[in-house]
Structure 1
Amino acid sequence: MSASQKAGDKTPTAESYRQLQEQNRQLRRILEITRILNTTLNLDTLLNTIIAMARDITATEAASILLLEPSSGELHFKAATGAKEAEVKSLVVPLEGSIAGWIVTHNRPLIVNKASEDHRHYQQVDHLINFSTRSILGVPLSVKNRTIGVIEVVNKAKDLPFTEHDREILETLAAQAAIAIENAQLYKNLQDQIKAREEAQSRLLHTEKLASIGQLVAGIAHELNNPLTSIIGYAQLLQYNQKPGETQSDLDIIVDQARRAAKIVRGLLTFARQHPPEQKPVQINDIINSTLNLLDYELRTHNITWRTHLDPNIPLTMADPNQLQQVFVNLTNNARYAMSTAHGGGELTITTETGPSLLPESLPDQPVIRVIVQDNGPGIPPDILPRIFDPFFTTKSVGEGTGLGMSVCHGIISEHKGHIWAESSPGEGATFFVELPIVAPVLDSTADSPPLLDASTLNSQARILLVDDEKEILTVLTRFLQKAGCRVDAVSNGRAAFPLLEQTDYDLILCDIRMPGISGPEIYRYLQTKNPVQAGRLIFITGDVVNPATQRFLEETGVPCLSKPITPIELLQKLAQSGAIEASPDGIPAESPEDITAEGDEL
């Protein structure tokens, strides 16, 4: 045998040996892949492992996995090799007009060795990442005869064509990968459901906690209203009897501080609100603009610039505009405080938009109006973020905040069947989200509420009955009403009021609601039976406006009600506006020689 013949026999034998070695390597990799795929349920880790191995066993330049989104019928890149992985993963590939779509639709592998000549090649990917696809091998990812996606490898090394052996080896990998991907997706879905349930439970517990605290606060606020009314009333009474000087200044301080306490009580009552908000058609954009106009001076003087991105197509919805403005005022003021304290200024951005809820488990399949309030302040530390809606929690210095603002916001938005939450990273500012359901407006054709008093039935000599179990309130209101020229009877319980109501035709009856023994509503029902005309002259003065029973009673009867703490001056102003009394030229009610008439339980 010649040397040339021996050399000719050696070459094919060496090539066969090389091919056998490559096949053995690929098989070992497949076995290794099977072992690795069974060690993780993290979807991202799994997908990146699969494409790295696919690229290795097929000796290609790049690899990717696209998964099918059943609801949209589109393919989404979930993993890709290469420097521009992020750009690729942002792409959506249609089923029609793409090689990947053809593979998924026909549930068959496909070899395309000249991609530029194939009309199914989706060239947008190449354009985005500045890549040249010359050849493609793709196989479907199938589980139980259901195609969930496709795995592709691109550009065989040395520009060799893809072979049937490449197809077989990639199909072997795909068979194992599809099962692993399906399991990882199921695990991820389960984890997402558990997380969503935990978040929903957390919000429910938080809401229940706020509700229970609200009941306690409502009771405390009611008890504070009575002494506050007395403190302010007596201080104002002294102011009218004192000449200008140091004592007058001291009285001014007492009144100012008592008003400050009254403001805190109003915050407590707002937080403890248990009745549905007043619903009327509102435009959220208008409330935002009104809020910013209201706070413009505060923002400017604290070096806060603000801008808005308000969707002009925001629909009307049924809501309480005053309550919503209170929410946006609180959010804006908190952002202003955070930015000015940390940086001496900052930028506030408020955005409105509509669309699906970002909390689909809370507002499923329901479009919402979303308001986003974003600042570039110091952000909220992770350990504080879960507590920001807790009542009385504040990071402000003593005297700068009561810790009720965010709790009030939470309560108001919850009453509107919406949600409020915050997202923040330290040093990157804070973003608050408010989502409100879109409720079709219902136009109210009813007329405006009538004035508290009918001016035609009263004059400066009006005969008035006061009924309140707080004797200090009785005394101070009686003295002020007498200064207005009214004739006043005052009793401290409902039982003592009955004989007076039988003997006297009162022009006005001012009555507390909650009293020991006979309550205000019982007095009203008594008058309805005995003297319906006098029943129409009754006005309640109470600090119990958040009690559900009180709310129902007032709504059912339509009896006017003034909320404590009400100062005597405010009460006189309301009576004067209705024509019940006459004010002296200098604005102070005129003196009257009448003495206090106290019957029943005397003062």
Structure 2
Amino acid sequence: MAEIETQRLDGYRHLIDIARDLASTLDLDTLLRHIVAAAAEITDAEAGSILLYDGTARQLYFQVATNMDQPTMRGLVVPLEGSIAGWIVANRRTVRTEEAHGDPRFFSDVEQTTGFPTQSLLGVPLITKEKVVGVLEVLNKNKGNFTDADENLLLVLGAQAAVAIENARLFQQSDLIAEFVHELRTPLASLSTATYLLLRPEISKEQHDQIIYNIHNETLRLNTLASSFLDLARLESGRVQFHKTRFSVNDLIYECKDVMQGKADEARIQLRVDSPEDLPLLEADRDKIKQVILNLLSNAIKYNRPSGSVIISANATETEIAITAQDTGMGIPEDALPHLFEKFYRVREHESKAGGTGLGLSISKQIMQGHNGTLEVKSKVGVGTAFILRLPRGVKKIPRR
């Protein structure tokens, strides 16, 4: 009895240390990793996971997990009906089971996808301000069964985690909104000036038409900025689900080439593909990877020199597929490279050549991170720039959605 009481007190002392750790972290991904690691540790479980709930889309999906296949798990959607996690969200109650496969709510597709066998499971809802933000689960108690003490510890951690997750989301949103409002000033100032000039009786018909044209362009710019802002906000908050399928990389590359060919012809840029025909299939969110490639090709054409070229190439190893967009443009100064993926960052030397939101590369990097991939850049001023996407091949079965 004394030993059990000592273990319980040790657990609560550990929770105090965890609370301090969570309070000092505002990066959402880092925060979630800390939470699942702590959950598995305090309950002596083999693995832990966090599923986030998007109340607007009514979707529940894995965001982070320990001791499981992270690239496969991240973004994996779990049904609200027909899963233990979905039941926890709907009922806002804890579930503890020693025979997960015997529970009719058990969603076996997750196990089939990851190859991680589940015996016992303990899950608690993450609730803050009467709102469910997700589910915290631990799997497979290392010794014996999950106890009341484990459940109580996980409930306390879950309460701390829910507040920390919401705070991290709010911090990201406020930070992003502040930057967004700053970026709005330039197009809004242009629109204000243009509309003022339209009211002047002395402007000519030619000036009038030019002002209308400028207003149209600034409106398009605002629309693009708003769309990009929403994309980035969803990615940074962890509310984007990646719908993975297996597809041909070459087919996607040629599809992207066809989309950008008109823009390349207009800029007198040669656009070509150089990749082997026997590339393996890639398992990823095809639309999101297409978005990244199109963004890189758009930049490669926009910042190229007249009669320059852009080459899209791909190659595969046993573990990854790499896709490269190489241009013969003006290049990027070395001091700008560390800032290239920052929100709203624009290379000073490029600003006068072509406009943009300054969000495309940041969004692209977030998408790659969501696939457990990387986005690298190599550049030399006056020679050109290469962006390289590296994606884990991923060959496991995709669950039915």
- Distance change in 2, residues 1:53/1:377 (3 Å): same
Asked whether the 8 Å contact 1:67–1:77 carries over to 2, the reply is: yes
| C-alpha displacement of 1:168 | 1.5
| C-alpha displacement of 1:387 | 3.4
The residue that corresponds to 1:104 in the other structure is 89
- SS state of the match for residue 276, structure 1? helix
How many residue pairs get matched?
278
Whether 1:377 and 2:327 are equivalent positions in the alignment is yes
- SS state of the match for residue 429, structure 1? strand
Whether 1:152 and 2:137 are equivalent positions in the alignment is yes
Q: TM-score, normalised by structure 2?
A: 0.57
The residue that corresponds to 2:166 in the other structure is 182
**Equivalent position amino acid for 2:54 in 1:** E
State the Cα deviation string for residues 279-338 of structure 1 (Å, max 9, x = none).
9xxxxx999766666778x73xxxx5269xxx9xxxxxxxxxxxxxxxx99974853659
Asked whether the 8 Å contact 1:73–1:94 carries over to 2, the reply is: no
Asked whether the 8 Å contact 2:301–2:310 carries over to 1, the reply is: no
Structure 1: give runs of 5+ residues left out of the alignment: 1-15, 212-268, 280-284, 312-327, 350-373, 392-405, 414-418, 432-603
Q: TM-score, normalised by structure 1?
A: 0.39
| C-alpha displacement of 1:144 | 2.8
- SS state of the match for residue 71, structure 1? coil
Asked whether the 8 Å contact 1:52–1:81 carries over to 2, the reply is: yes
- Distance change in 2, residues 1:337/1:140 (3 Å): same
Q: Summarize the alignment of residues 201-600 of structure 1 with structure 2, pairs less than 5 Å apart.
A: 201=185, 273-276=210-213, 299=270, 305=272, 332=301, 334-335=303-304, 346-347=310-311, 375-377=325-327, 380-381=332-333, 382=336, 385-387=346-348, 390-391=351-352, 406=353, 410=355, 423=361, 425-427=377-379, 429=386
Name the CA distance, whole Å, in 2 between partners of 1:332 and 1:276: 24
Q: Whose Rg is larger?
A: 1
State the Cα deviation string for residues 343-379 of structure 1 (Å, max 9, x = none).
xx64169xxxxxxxxxxxxxxxxxxxxxxxx941265
| C-alpha displacement of 1:100 | 0.6
The residue that corresponds to 2:227 in the other structure is none
**Equivalent position amino acid for 1:71 in 2:** T
- Distance change in 2, residues 1:290/1:346 (3 Å): closer
Name the CA distance, whole Å, in 2 between partners of 1:330 and 1:60: 47
- SS state of the match for residue 64, structure 1? strand
- Distance change in 2, residues 1:60/1:377 (3 Å): same
**Equivalent position amino acid for 2:97 in 1:** V
Structure 2: give runs of 5+ residues left out of the alignment: 195-205, 217-256, 275-286, 288-296, 314-323, 341-345, 363-376, 380-384, 389-401
Instruction: Tell which has more relative contact order, 1 or 2 (C-alpha 8 A, sep 6+).
Output: 2
- Distance change in 2, residues 1:423/1:41 (3 Å): closer
Asked whether the 8 Å contact 1:104–1:150 carries over to 2, the reply is: yes
The residue that corresponds to 1:165 in the other structure is 149
- SS state of the match for residue 376, structure 1? strand
Asked whether the 8 Å contact 2:267–2:306 carries over to 1, the reply is: no
- Distance change in 2, residues 1:148/1:335 (3 Å): same
State the Cα RMSD in Å: 4.5
- SS state of the match for residue 53, structure 1? helix
Name the CA distance, whole Å, in 1 between partners of 2:299 and 2:172: 38
- SS state of the match for residue 27, structure 1? helix
- Distance change in 2, residues 1:34/1:286 (3 Å): closer
Name the CA distance, whole Å, in 2 between partners of 1:114 and 1:287: 52
Name the CA distance, whole Å, in 2 between partners of 1:48 and 1:420: 29
**Equivalent position amino acid for 2:332 in 1:** I
Name the CA distance, whole Å, in 2 between partners of 1:337 and 1:189: 40
Name the CA distance, whole Å, in 1 between partners of 2:23 and 2:260: 54
| C-alpha displacement of 1:89 | 1.6
The residue that corresponds to 1:94 in the other structure is 79
**Equivalent position amino acid for 2:174 in 1:** L
- Distance change in 2, residues 1:346/1:276 (3 Å): closer
Asked whether the 8 Å contact 2:304–2:327 carries over to 1, the reply is: yes
Name the CA distance, whole Å, in 2 between partners of 1:203 and 1:143: 38
